[in-house]
Structure 1
Amino acid sequence: MFKLEERSSAIEIKDKIQVELHRGANYPHRLNFYDKPPLYDVSIEEFETSALDRLRILAEIESSAARNRTWEETKTVTATQCEKYLPLKSSNAVGADRESQRRIDHLGHFVLRLAFCRSEELRRRFIKAETTLFKVRYETDDTTEREKFLSSRDFNWVAVDKSEKERHRQELSTYQGRADTFEADRYYKVRWTRVPDLVDKRKVFVKGGWAYVPSREQSSIVYQEFEAHLQRDLLVTARYMPRLDEDTRLGGILDNLSTGFLAGVSSEWSAAPADANAETIRADMVDDLAAKHFPMCMRNSHQRLRKDHHMKHFGRLQYGLFLKVLGLSIEEAIIFWRKSFDRINDDTFNKMYKYNIRHSYGLEGKRANYPAKNCQQILTSGGDPGCPYRHFSQENLQSALLSTYGPLGLSSSDLYEVMNTVKGGHFHVACTRVFEITHSSSGVKKGEGVGGGESVTHPNQYAARSMELLKAQEEKAMMVIT
């Protein structure tokens, strides 16, 4: 039995151990195979936000594949997105809260496992995106830290000793094509089934079922191990999902996350201030803005409004919130909708529509500041209006794209690439490519997206960036004139 002093001392030692764990022993490496689940309490908010930040990066990785980006382009875009949404500094970084960063990274990964384990298709897409993220981090990691990480795990490879290496000198030199570095090169043996990519590219010597992998190709073993490890863990997670489905707090969050690959994850545009461009946007400017700056979904809504002089409730809500966030004030919004509904009298308009317009601006009812719908919400609503890239037939979409964006530079020769992404289900990627084509005169290059390589994830993001580019172009022209 402990004496009081002994018990007190034991508690102090335990507390010191916990402090050391908190300081970094929980996450000793920047690279992670995510072997252990997060065994601590988290709030619902932290549960969701950590997953959303990670999903932004994974969705952009999938978009990069759909846009046929080179590996270097994909790596650059992914690194930029990581720095913005999920920074993960090296152990040598000064002034960075590494423990917090790695904790968020760890938690977000496991939350997304819950969201993407529920079908074979979701698992496949998640594994592919996560493996790409791991590759980017592996290649950009500090060499010393990477070696420490590799030493911390058993990758079940066999180091080739000098005698065996010398015995196969001719074959190894032939396959590597680098006889001058043969003496310095290290080799590892693994079963050839673990490195099918290297075997396929004839980068390794194979004998007796063993592949002789040089150290510079060692990463292939690591990547394959990460992928196989994650695949096994997702299947285990899927078996336990029925128990989790009983928790009603998480079902809606996980359902929302699992649609993240469909349209990416919207940035902060849903919370943009309503008066961001209020000084420059009036009701009589909307026609011109629609023709020059609106994405296909909002352009379609505007054209239908002009044709029918009317719009159903959900269409008015979606389009009205878009205009609100773009910068149309409540006074100008009432003028815009009144002129648009020009086949009814003032009394009918005031009774049936004015209240709803004011309500969407937070001036009636519970006075909430409603955000504009993002791409994911528009794509998954399944109603009318929706996303033209998803809901239009291929013939109607091609015709609509040419008539809408032909004056802005889209040609029939561009349609093949756009329609290919549509057929692949990458609707926001198709929208992004249209943005790049129609803004090439403003200096936007293929792969640049709406800035920094980002894909379109929100109609207001598309329109605001388009307006910003035109403004910059006009300012540049004025400077030349003066």
Structure 2
Amino acid sequence: MAFYLTPPSGNIALHKLTEYTVTRLQFLRRVMETNGHQLSLLDVVKEGAMCSDCLIEGSIKDKISHFMLRMTCAYDKSMTEFFITTEAILFDFRFSCMNFEELCRLFKSLDVHLLRVKRMKSDDFPLLAYSNEIVSNLNAFQNIKDQFGKWKHFVHKYLEGDNDFFCLPFQHVLHLVAKRHVDLHHGVASISIGKLRDVVAGLYRKMLVEYMTQASKFLHTDDTRIRRLIHSIKALYRMNCCFDNTPSFRKFLPAVSVDDVVVSMPPCMSHLHRTLRTQHRLCHQSRIQYSLFLKEAGMPVREALVFWRAEYSQPRASIGNGGHLWTGNEARYTYSIRHLYGLEGSRINYRGHSCHSLQNSPRCVSEQGGCPFATFDRDNLKKILDIEGIYETDEILEHAAKGRYSAACAHVFQWKTRKMDQKQCLHEKTYQREDGLTVLESELKSCNNACECSDKYENVLAAITSPTIAEDHRGETQGVMPAEQRTVKFDTPVQYFDEFQRLLNSMQDICSNKTVI
């Protein structure tokens, strides 16, 4: 991969230049259509590299297609926004998929530019080689390198999930300052090394914006062949790529937040999570099942390595759960996780298990995975329901006993969402003291009866009181629901998770009441 700081030089046939530019435009259109979703991006990038050499990251043809399309898009505001947005998404995705060697090569490619910046004050070096904005961003990379000595030390800490910090002037990370993800002291931002991906992607985007601005002001050509090419690319863009350039919500699940979202997981996955936290190990198939679930829930490969390293670095709590310590087996575990993400071996973009496959998969005695409604006996199933906070279990147990496993899971979903209306919400009120100072006071109130949130809760909960239930393994409909109530459907554990997360967010929005006195 490259930062695309220096355009390639040489001769190329016009038809090849046209082909590469058109191919990249069509490729970026597909990137935009993914809305930044990691699994979809992996498919798009993999298919693109197989279809054309100009989409193989870091190749000379990749650079040709990038710079030619950059120049073409610079003449049109809409195309500029499209190019910056899609290239930033692509860069961020490629960065998230890199291993140690690839990250080291990426950062070392900056060294020649950092050296040029140091020499810019000398008389034998042109002062206009870089704009002030580009120099500022390159200096940010130089600051990072100076704090750790060598790129490989920095990359190692990042991939190991180290808790170390690095510092940059706050103006380089305004997007993190706005989200309060950094500590500020005298204009210097102290940034967790785990935020490296956000920092690098932000710096890349700023440099891309600057280069596009320069191109729109200074790049002009009288070559009729290039002008015809630019005109045809613009026409192709207007026909196929004119849509909202703002990608929709992108799921992101960091390793440190998994415990916070367990409540949104279906019983099959929450059981695996609790087992992992208790035993610090999962059997092979269970580990694959949970890894793929976390992948589809929004956990990038780097966060997955941090998550599994933290658990497998601890001694296992009992005999028989399998798995060696991470230390001494890091290469094997790392390869296994990257393989599940389609980054090693056959590079297949594996998807998570469906409910149907979990319900019908054979399960040995030592495995913890699978569908608990299909594999657990009544007593163990009741224990899981107790942990989930569900005490009226007769109907759920009856569904499980009769082989209606999806119906049982749907009722768990219902019970967990019904508990939301008992949740306390934060109510804020502001008032002015006698000295003129505005004071914000907060208090928790039950949303059951004590506030106007109650009616809003009921409206939201009414929409999910009877989720649509998938067919069971015999193809029989598991309960007939009125059509107007069939608003929720999940055929995979991650669909259950996403829907529950959506409802939690809706509840939080409802409870953001503010009363001004």
TM range (shorter): 0.3 to 0.5
User: Could you tell me the TM-score, scaled by structure 2's length?
Assistant: 0.37
User: Could you tell me the TM-score, scaled by structure 1's length?
Assistant: 0.39
Higher helix proportion (structure 1 or 2): 1
